[in-house]
Amino acid sequence: MVTHVPAAAPGDERGALLSFVEAQRGAIRRSVLGLTEEQAASRPSASELSLSGLIKHVAKTELNWLRMAQQKQGAPPGDSSGGEKARNEETWGDSFRLVGDETIPGMLAFWDSVARETDEFIHSVPSLDDTFPLPDAPWFPKDGAVSMRWMLLHLVEEVGRHAGHADIIRESLDGKSAFELVAMESGRDWGR
């Protein structure tokens, strides 16, 4: 990660964890700076991943984890982290690409709303030690539960892994590195 994650106030574990989640979100958001919808949807390698698809995937995945933590029923349509539709092999790919009238601005706005809701929810829970049950799925332990802290750390891991994918895809498209994108976002020139 090429941006500095600001230190939280002493003892503000929630703020620190949310800042690290946001730093990873920012890396993926920056990956589409200056690109057209077509460029962001392109797949410059043998992988099926595209930048716009990664944005959709991480936004829907974050929402799915938020709904589990809130103990609200139902995964969002096209969810790729455990929802019924995501388990359908015929529609799995749709969770990693924009379909129909989905656009990058629309997906970024959706993700911004999910991020705000995640932040508000985490600030509202009595303790990061509070737990919620994991759904019945082959990749989770039977009768498993995780804490709010675990969920935030998982979001750092999940979004961070895909931020790395986004770095590689973007550099493959036009050679722009994460450093250049950080500079571009702030209106500066990176070494040229």
SS3 128: coil
Q: Please, what sign has the CA dihedral across residues 167, 170, 174, 176? A: negative
Per the prediction, the chain carries an average pLDDT of 88
Name which of 17-21, 54-58, 72-76, 156-160 the model is least confident about: 72-76
d(CA 113, CA 96): 19
DSSP for residue 92 = G
pLDDT the model gives residue 30 = 95
pLDDT the model gives residue 85 = 44
d(CA 46, CA 189): 31
Greater pLDDT, 110 or 92: 110
pLDDT band at residue 88 using 50, 70 and 90 as cut-offs:
low
pLDDT band at residue 74 using 50, 70 and 90 as cut-offs:
low
Q: Exposed, middle or buried: residue 25 (CB in 10 Å: 0-12, 13-18, 19+)?
A: buried
pLDDT the model gives residue 81 = 47
pLDDT band at residue 177 using 50, 70 and 90 as cut-offs:
confident
pLDDT band at residue 6 using 50, 70 and 90 as cut-offs:
confident
pLDDT band at residue 52 using 50, 70 and 90 as cut-offs:
very high
Q: What percent of the chain has pLDDT over 70?
A: 86
Greater pLDDT, 126 or 136: 126
Is the pLDDT confidence value at 60 over 90? yes
pLDDT the model gives residue 4 = 75
pLDDT band at residue 11 using 50, 70 and 90 as cut-offs:
confident
Domain 13-185 falls in which CATH fold?
Four Helix Bundle (Hemerythrin (Met), subunit A) (1.20.120)
Consecutive H or E run containing 113: helix 104-124
Please report where in the chains the tokens 């979100």 appear, as a residue: 25
